[in-house]
A and B are shown apart, each in its own frame.
Chain A
Amino acid sequence: DQQVKQNSPSLSVQEGRISILNCDYTNSMFDYFLWYKKYPAEGPTFLISISSIKDKNEDGRFTVFLNKSAKHLSLHIVPSQPGDSAVYFCAASALGDMRFGAGTRLTVKP
């Protein structure tokens, strides 16, 4: 019962272009959403989050969009840089219980 799904296991983007990572969820009780970034041999690190009362949150090159009616969120990275190459996990939370997706491996080519 995977309540948070990242249907694209991998994404490859040219440096300088936009990267769009997608995430879908099934539980309408989720009210807080996060993106974590993970480099090989390291634990995930927090990247950006959004509350369900908003539909957009921006932090530098990173923007998260939330579409509650579609139960969909996305992470936009623009412009993409080679250092952004990592696995990105989407997470959603309800009442303190946090669920993660399986991750999308982003490769940014120079």
Chain B
Amino acid sequence: DTAVSQTPKYLVTQMGNDKSIKCEQNLGHDTMYWYKQDSKKFLKIMFSYNNKELIINETVPNRFSPKSPDKAHLNLHINSLELGDSAVYFCASSRGQGARNEQFFGPGTRLTVL
């Protein structure tokens, strides 16, 4: 059983399109995250949700909108995709907030914007 799953695994799309990446965790965790791994390989936090409420929102363009329909899901919607959005996006979850709560990562979604 996959603890944190993301779909799709690969996403290739044209500039200007709107796309969504889904994330689900079956660990019963309260906190979920979205990270972006850019071309320089840095993993950067984008958003953090705790019990469906937004906790962290880094300086991410408002074209990115996370949506948490319930504690087990945190989906990422991206409007008007740009070339610079090409990256690998990782979803993660943890029992609670803070780094002392081990984060479990999904396998990643490689987004390519043409």
Contact = CB atoms under 8 A, between A and B. Distances in A.
Nearest to A41: B107
Interface stretch (A14-22, A69-77, A91-99): A91-99
A46 B104 CA distance: 7
B102 interface: yes
Interface centre among B55, B99, B100 (most CB of A within 10 A): B99
B99 A34 contact: yes
A6 B40 CA distance: 12
Contacts, number: 56
Interface stretch (B11-19, B42-50, B63-71, B75-83): B42-50
A43 B98 contact: no
Interface residues of A, number: 23
Contacts of A99: 45
Contacts of A91: 43, 99
A101 B43 CA distance: 7
A86 to B, nearest CB: 13
B72 interface: no
Interface centre among A2, A46, A96, A99 (most CB of B within 10 A): A96
Contact of A96 (B42, B97, B106): B97
19 contacts: A41-B108, A43-B4, A43-B90, A43-B92, A43-B105, A43-B107, A43-B108, A49-B99, A49-B100, A87-B41, A91-B43, A93-B98, A96-B98, A98-B45, A98-B103, A99-B45, A100-B42, A100-B44, A101-B42
Interface of B: 4, 35, 40-45, 55-56, 90, 92, 97-100, 102-108
Given A32-B99, A41-B108, 11 more contacts: A41-B107, A43-B90, A43-B104, A44-B90, A44-B105, A45-B105, A96-B56, A96-B99, A100-B43, A101-B42, A102-B41
Interface of A: 2, 32, 34, 36, 41-46, 49, 87, 89, 91, 93, 96-103
